[in-house]
Chain A
Amino acid sequence: MDKTTLDIWVGLFVAIGIAALLGLAMKVGNLTSNTLGETYAVTANYENIGGLKPRAPVKSSGVVVGRIDNIKFDTKAYQAVVTLKIDKRYPFPKDTFANIYTSGLLGEQYISLEAGGDDQFLKEGDRISKTQDAVVLEKLISQFLYNKATEESKK
């Protein structure tokens, strides 16, 4: 076979391979949507984080503004310490609420940020004090049953 034809075929082969990899990265993977620019890290303490996992999204009004960097357990306060990495483009006030919600009934859990009214913004290393734990289904049910029982006894 002619040398140039060979080169053309191999070039085509490599080009298709790179195109496939790019397709996998952009269309299938989340290389485009996952790239946070520069981030700042803040922490938040929770009594119970439920099924929250590292790399879960941090959303505000449903828009992904950051990701969860890591989750640790603080043995002094016996609380979970969650480190959030938030994109530098999105500054949040100091009194922002960080609540753990579940997407859908059984979906993955994420942290939702609800901006407060403070004129100071969160900086690198700050702690979000206003947090709300994950809803644990068993707790909810037992509370409901307890309420029902007290209603019954009042009658």
Chain B
Amino acid sequence: MNPIFKILSSLGNQVTSRIWRLGSAARFFFLILIYSGESFRRIHLTIREIYFTGVMSLIIIIVSAFFVGMVLGLQGYYTLQKYGSSESIGVLVALALLRELGPVVTALLFAGRAGTAITAEIGLMKATEQLSAMEMMAVSPIARIIGPRFWAGVISMPILASIFSMVGVMGGYLVAVPIIGVDHGAFWSQMNVNVDFRFDVINGLIKSVVFGVACTIIALYEGFDAPPTAEGVSRATTRTVVTSSLTVLGLDFILTSFMIAH
């Protein structure tokens, strides 16, 4: 075959297979929504999954939030004191965390910590034919396995992001006030005046919910779609992290531009 046709056909194949995957992921998403009534009827399944995705992620979220907050405090102070406005350090730390770092870093950590676990678990369930066995017993694996994990992820993400932002602010406070010596009152009052509840806190929360949906769906779909081999599961896990991270960053740009443009 002509080499030009070869290149064209491989390009076309890439595009159609990507679009096909996207479409099947969307169908998967709607299937979860349709079955979610059934999964909510067994609420303890969701609670169990919140434990594994949410509670078990707390340590990594808190520790990284603390360090991110402290670094923001140090770096922010270094630049702000050049302009003689080191009291604004509280505003800088709070806004950076609430608007961007809180939701985004939480989502990235969540994809690495919980998303991979979900993909590997479901991929292995599929490889060992547990999902097919369930179907044989007339138990829908979407309602019983996928649904609870999806809702657990969607519920956990905003909670984790709020905790991240709050702990980050505390980390910033720890560096700015006792170590550097910014005035305690100025730190909080400047922050209080310049951080708006609706525009900053709620928008950050909306972002984290969207990221939660995106990360969980990607992790679940990659697991559900993985070839039932050891190699297939390992590749699916890698793809989960890569796709979730890129999706989160892309969505973040889109959401931010909508929120700022209003």
Instruction: Name the residue on A nearest B205 (C-beta).
Output: A21
Q: Which residues of A1-40 have CB atoms within 8 Å of chain B's CB atoms?
A: 1, 3, 6-7, 9-10, 12-14, 16-18, 20-21, 23-25, 27-31, 33-34
Name which of B4-12, B20-28, B48-56 contacts chain A: B48-56
Query: Contact between A6 and B196 (Cβ–Cβ < 8 Å)?
Result: no
Give the contacting residue for B98; candidates A18, A24, A31, A34; CB below 8 A.
A24
Contacts of A6 in B (CB 8 A): 47-48, 51
B216 → A minimal CB distance (Å): 16
Q: Which of chain B's residues have a CB closer than 8 A to the CB of A13? A: 50-51, 54-55, 58, 156, 159
Contacts of B156 in A (CB 8 A): 13
- The B interface, classified by DSSP as helix, strand, loop or mixed, is helix
Answer whether residue B166 sits at the interface, using C-beta atoms and an 8 A cutoff.
yes
Q: Is the CB of A20 within 8 A of B163?
A: yes
A17-B160, A17-B162, A21-B162 known; A28-B55 Cβ under 8 A = no
A25 touches B55 (CB 8 A): no
Q: A17-B160, A17-B162, A17-B163 are in contact. Are A25 and B50 (CB under 8 A)?
A: no
Of the listed stretches B134-142, B176-184, B185-193, B229-237, chain A binds: B185-193
Interface residues of B in 132-176 (CB under 8 A from A): 156, 158-160, 162-163, 165-167, 169
Q: Which of B50, B94, B163 contacts A16 (CB 8 A)?
A: B163
Specify which chain B residues have a CB less than 8 angstroms from the CB of A18 in the assembled complex. 159
- Does chain A have a CB within 8 A of B42? no
- The distance from the CB of A119 to the nearest CB of chain B, in whole angstroms, is 34
Chain A's nearest CB lies how many Å from the CB of B249? 23
Is there an interface contact between B47 and A23, defined as CB atoms closer than 8 Å? no
Bound together, the chains give a CA A3 to CA B51 distance in angstroms of: 11
Chain A neighbourhood of B121, CB < 8 A: none
A20 and B197 contacting across the interface, CB-CB below 8 Å: no
Which 6 A/B pairs are nearest by Cβ-Cβ distance? A17-B159, A20-B166, A29-B197, A20-B162, A31-B197, A21-B162
Known: A3-B44, A14-B159. 7 other contacts (CB 8 A): A20-B163, A23-B166, A24-B98, A24-B162, A28-B195, A29-B196, A30-B193
Q: Jot down 22 A-B pairs with beta carbons below 8 A, ordered by A.
A: A1-B51, A7-B47, A13-B54, A13-B156, A13-B159, A16-B58, A17-B160, A17-B162, A21-B201, A23-B166, A24-B169, A25-B201, A27-B188, A28-B98, A28-B169, A29-B200, A29-B201, A30-B192, A30-B197, A31-B197, A34-B196, A55-B196
